[in-house]
Structure 1
Amino acid sequence: MSVDIVFEDPRWEGVGLAAIAEAAFDEVQARFGLAGSEVAVLACDDARIAELNGDFREKPQPTNVLSWPSQERGAQVPGGTPLAPDDLELGDIAIAYETCLREAEAQAKPISDHVTHLMVHGLLHLLGYDHINDKDAGLMEGLEVEILGKMGISNPYEE
């Protein structure tokens, strides 16, 4: 899998985002058989992600991660499997430094583990998974826990 990262906020380089993103995407690629696929990541700050969140979701406040799939892949029924990608360019992800750092500190976990979770989460969104309803959320969270477990990261949904 090819990951192209644009570092708008240089603090991400100190966190090792490139290695985190590659490792997360390699594991997702293995799980879903996505050889040759591509993802673009915008490593930004809270101000930039708030702008994007306002433009695309009409929620002009910071969030941890946003994703834009290259095509609609969502399942037709709640809890169903999304459509397989037919485009090697899966889409784009934006991730905000301050929010991720704040969340990791509040959860008393390494930022690398939290960011790995958010990268897996964002990629699953690109693949059509969502958490709009309980069935979709259960499926998506189960996949996150499975993939993160293979990476040696504990379940992010357990207290």
Structure 2
Amino acid sequence: MKEKIISEINLDLVFQCNNFSQFSNKLKDTKTNLIFESIFWEKVFLSWINTILKNEDYELPNYIFDKKSFSLGLQIISNQEIASLNKKWMQKNGPTDVLSFPIISDESLNNLDHIELGDIFISLEMALEQSYEYKHSIYREMIWLASHGFLHLLGWEHNNEHDLENMLNFQEYLITRLD
């Protein structure tokens, strides 16, 4: 594994979170409240970008590795909103847990210093349901979904079981780097 030293990375994060006061009784602890703060997500994504940029062995587009400035959007939305996006853009009915809309797609970005990665949408309601189903915290589930969406923004796909397993393993690796 080749690891390199990187200089400071800039991240422009556009964060939006709907009012989810109806879930306030389920979202009581301090750690959970972090998922509603822009500065928390900025630190998370910066950590992941730094982890990825320090190692060129990852299967990502080459033009990612020499960039110093990134931007992306993260929105925490309702089931109704994500179902609407899912129908419009994925032609699928019903809500899903996370949707990503990558912008980077070709090597014409090689000459740019700044890359707009795209947008991630996470359904808080689906994340809550899945946190109960998988018996872990909403904090853990939101981090998991954000990492999945983030990897899609970087070009990861999972068109077969092998690719999905690799992606899920890498998500776990990124999450452990946060601790």
Q: Which residue of 1 aligns with 2:19?
A: 10
Instruction: Confirm or deny: 8 A CA contact 1:117 1:144 kept in the other structure.
Output: yes
**2 CA distance for matches of 1:60 and 1:23?**
34
Map 1:127-142 → 2, pairs under 5 A: 127-142=154-169
How far residue 20 of structure 1 moved from its aligned partner, in angstroms, is 4.4
* Structure 2 gap ranges (5+): 1-10, 28-32, 54-66
Q: Which residue of 2 aligns with 1:92?
A: 119
**1 CA distance for matches of 2:69 and 2:14?**
13
Q: What do the CA deviations read for 1:87-117 (whole angstroms, capped 9, x no partner)?
A: 6100011111110111111211111111011
Report sequence identity in percent: 24
Q: Which residue of 1 aligns with 2:46?
A: 26
Q: Which residue of 1 aligns with 2:147?
A: 120
Instruction: Confirm or deny: 8 A CA contact 2:104 2:115 kept in the other structure.
Output: no
How far residue 19 of structure 1 moved from its aligned partner, in angstroms, is 4.5
Determine if the alignment matches structure 1 residue 57 to structure 2 residue 57: no
* Structure 1 gap ranges (5+): 74-82, 153-159
SS in 1 for 2:69: coil
For 1:30, the aligned partner's letter is N
SS in 1 for 2:72: strand
How far residue 130 of structure 1 moved from its aligned partner, in angstroms, is 1.6
Comparing 23-32 with 96-105, greater Cα deviation is found at: 23-32
How far residue 71 of structure 1 moved from its aligned partner, in angstroms, is 2.6
Q: Which residue of 2 aligns with 1:155?
A: none
**2 CA distance for matches of 1:28 and 1:140?**
14
Comparing 25-34 with 48-57, greater Cα deviation is found at: 25-34
**Correspondence for 2:70 among 37, 45, 53:** 37
**1 CA distance for matches of 2:68 and 2:142?**
23
How far residue 29 of structure 1 moved from its aligned partner, in angstroms, is 0.8
**2 CA distance for matches of 1:42 and 1:111?**
16
Report how many aligned residue pairs link the two structures: 142
RMSD: 2.4
